[in-house]
């Protein structure tokens, strides 16, 4: 026993780090600079970040964050300024993010697949003061709508710059100096990142994620996954989404190592996991199905993975995955606006569902008037956090959408859910026609806007159809102007280059008239129920390869 140790401290000895995080970091200290500085003092030379040959210790990472903040300040970036970041998984992404978080600027990560109307909306809405971009994505800027103004300052990451006339200047990302920025005056409720999530009846919404929300992602996710001090967290997911970004906080808060791969490879996943001696993995939806589709190998269980996140993996694949690879998949539910608010048991007692409500979160299942429904009856899922700033604070520059989503002091998820009598939650479907394809959210509204710009198309509707991998595929119902017609391939080609590749429809159904409601709106539910009809054209079956 340590001299002077309190009884509470003695009870905590041997407890996982995440269970002590709230006490170790009081509310005012749940900001990146404080967390990183304190963890660097504790863990020093322990490896925090690994990417290829790049390895940062905890001490290195704190120094890099401070130097990156100083670089931004010297460039004229101030607290609250937005810094857009269009970058694949690489160390520079974290450099920029950590620098912004350290000094109070706001990172705006952009999905590297976005083009046209989607990319234009983000830049128009966020009005970044600085754009940091890989040269390989400069061509995406050529697809912007004419009214979109680029920032006066653009930094490029890596070698080579694609030529482009801009009103400002393009320069390579400046090297990190030795100096550090002044002590930041950042608050837990300050926005650290704006993450854009697809809408259904309008453009994508920029979710304002406060500093403390990332802290709680690190706590709640670690609790759900059973993360232990010294674990090696291994992700191939893109940093421009919340999953891979908050996994960094899981590592930071829990004394772990965060291993980032450039991208997911079904054929190379297990070899990389073995190479890094990973103990915790992150899979979403179709990724687990793709791994199961690989040829069996004698090395299928030759790894160190103890558990893997399996959110969105259909229930029928959990058992085969555990049997073949020896890794249980964790069921769970979270969103960019909320947190890791539901988690299943490990292994799951009811595979493919949401699990049980997390401590620190309140949930209701309600009818159209926000009146609570009894157990066993499906309704909209409403969520509320007990901890300060554990959820997002709203949608950037969208006050009406914010008020609608957070009405009556609850966040309205838009998901139809059932609560069982024993407190277990099951996802039923979406309240609106949002689509999730290969781990990406697709805005039906944005795809429809692109299609309607074709002069031959009079009306269109984008809706989901199920795929072989257990997720959604994008389907388009098309009605032509009188006297006009198009081949399905022409419709697909019209979409390519004007939107993200994952938003381009796989299925095209030509209709003479749309099913309409009494008010003249397209009844997408009728299109979904009809499914894949005999006249539905399938891009994959036709052998057409989409351009990326």
pTM of the model: 0.85
What is the number of other CB atoms lying within 10 angstroms of the CB of residue 477?
Answer: 23
pLDDT at residue 432 is higher than 90: no
Region 335-339: mean pLDDT is 96
Q: What percent of the chain has pLDDT over 90?
A: 73
**Hey, which bits of 71-197 come out as E strands?**
82-86, 106-109, 130-133, 153-156, 169-172, 191-197
Binned at pLDDT 50, 70 and 90, residue 311 comes out as: confident
For 111-115, 330-334, 443-447, 476-480, which range has the lowest pLDDT when averaged over its residues? 443-447
**Hey, what long-range contacts does 440-443 have (CB within 8 A, 24 or more apart)?**
440/111, 440/113, 440/500, 440/502, 440/503, 441/197, 441/198, 442/198, 442/472, 442/474, 442/500, 442/502, 442/503, 443/118, 443/198, 443/199, 443/200, 443/202, 443/203, 443/204, 443/503
Cα torsion through 292, 298, 304, 309, rounded to 10? 0
Structural domains in the chain, sorted by start: 33-41+57-186 (3.40.50.980), 212-430 (3.40.50.12780), 435-538 (3.30.300.30)
d(CA 279, CA 264): 17
d(CA 528, CA 474): 11
pLDDT per position as a tens digit, 32-45: 999 999 999 999 99
The closest of 131, 68, 57 to 100, measured between CA atoms, is: 68
Binned at pLDDT 50, 70 and 90, residue 471 comes out as: confident
For 134-138, 183-187, 379-383, which range has the lowest pLDDT when averaged over its residues? 183-187
Residue 460 · residue 474 · CB < 8 Å: no
Residue 233 · residue 280 · CB < 8 Å: yes
pLDDT per position as a tens digit, 435-461: 878 778 787 878 888 998 899 998 888
Higher pLDDT, 128 or 442: 128
Q: What pLDDT does 179 receive?
A: 60
For 1-5, 115-119, 204-208, which range has the lowest pLDDT when averaged over its residues? 1-5
For 340-349, 458-467, 509-518, 537-546, which range has the lowest pLDDT when averaged over its residues? 509-518
| Average pLDDT score over the chain | 90
Residues 188, 213, 232, 237, CA torsion sign: negative
For 73-77, 298-302, 312-316, 423-427, which range has the lowest pLDDT when averaged over its residues? 312-316
Q: Which two tokens stand for residue 544?
A: 């057409």
The closest of 491, 488, 490, 493 to 537, measured between CA atoms, is: 488
């Amino acid at each position: 026993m340590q001299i002077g140790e309190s009884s509470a401290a003695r009870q905590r000895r041997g407890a996982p780090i995440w269970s002590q995080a709230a006490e170790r970091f009081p509310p005012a200290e749940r900001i990146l600079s404080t967390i990183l500085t304190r963890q660097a003092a504790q863990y020093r030379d322990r490896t925090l970040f690994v990417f290829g040959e790049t390895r940062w210790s905890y001490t290195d990472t704190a120094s890099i964050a401070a130097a990156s903040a100083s670089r931004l300040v010297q460039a004229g970036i101030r607290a609250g300024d937005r810094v857009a970041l269009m970058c694949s998984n690489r160390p520079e992404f974290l450099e920029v993010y950590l620098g912004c978080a350290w000094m109070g600027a706001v990172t705006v990560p952009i999905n590297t697949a976005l083009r046209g109307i989607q990319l234009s909306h983000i830049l128009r809405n966020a009005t970044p003061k600085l754009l940091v971009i890989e040269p390989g994505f400069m061509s995406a800027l050529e697809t912007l709508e004419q009214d979109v103004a680029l920032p006066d300052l653009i930094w490029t990451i890596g070698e080579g710059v694609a030529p482009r006339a801009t009103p400002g200047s393009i320069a390579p990302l400046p090297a990190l100096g030795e100096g550090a920025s002044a002590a930041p005056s950042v608050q837990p409720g300050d926005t650290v990142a704006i993450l854009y999530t697809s809408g259904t009846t309008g453009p994508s919404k920029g979710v304002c994620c406060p500093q403390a929300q990332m802290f709680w992602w690190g706590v709640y996710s670690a609790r759900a996954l059973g993360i232990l001090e010294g674990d090696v967290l291994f992700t191939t997911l893109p940093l421009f989404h919340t999953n891979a970004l908050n996994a960094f906080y899981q590592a930071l808060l829990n004394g772990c190592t965060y291993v980032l791969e450039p991208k997911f490879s079904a054929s190379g996943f297990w070899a990389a996991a073995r190479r890094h001696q990973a103990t915790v993995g992150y899979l979403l939806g179709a990724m687990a199905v793709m791994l199961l589709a690989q040829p069996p190998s004698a090395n299928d269980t030759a790894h160190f993975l103890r558990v893997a996140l399996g959110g969105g993996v259909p229930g029928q694949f959990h058992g085969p995955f555990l049997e073949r690879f020896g890794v249980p998949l964790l069921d769970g539910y979270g969103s960019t606006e909320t947190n890791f608010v539901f988690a299943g048991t490990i292994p799951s007692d009811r595979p493919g569902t949401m699990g049980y409500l997390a401590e620190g979160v309140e949930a209701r299942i309600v009818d159209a008037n926000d009146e609570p429904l009894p157990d066993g009856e499906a309704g909209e899922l409403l969520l509320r956090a007990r901890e300060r700033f554990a959820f997002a604070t709203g949608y950037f520059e969208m006050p009406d959408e914010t008020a609608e989503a957070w009405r009556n002091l609850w966040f309205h998820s838009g998901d139809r859910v059932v609560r069982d009598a024993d407190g277990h939650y099951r996802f039923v479907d979406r309240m609106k026609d949002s689509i999730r394809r290969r781990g990406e959210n697709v805005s039906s509204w944005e795809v429809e806007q692109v299609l309607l710009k074709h002069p031959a198309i009079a009306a269109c509707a984008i809706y989901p159809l199920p795929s072989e991998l257990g997720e959604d595929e994008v389907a388009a119902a098309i009605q032509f102007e009188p006297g006009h017609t198009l081949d399905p391939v022409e419709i697909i080609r019209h979409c390519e280059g004007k939107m993200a590749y994952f938003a381009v429809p796989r299925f095209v159904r030509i209709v003479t008239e749309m099913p309409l409601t009494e008010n003249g709106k397209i009844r997408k539910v009728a299109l979904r129920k009809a499914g894949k009809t005999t006249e539905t054209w399938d891009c994959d079956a036709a052998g057409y390869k989409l351009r990326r």
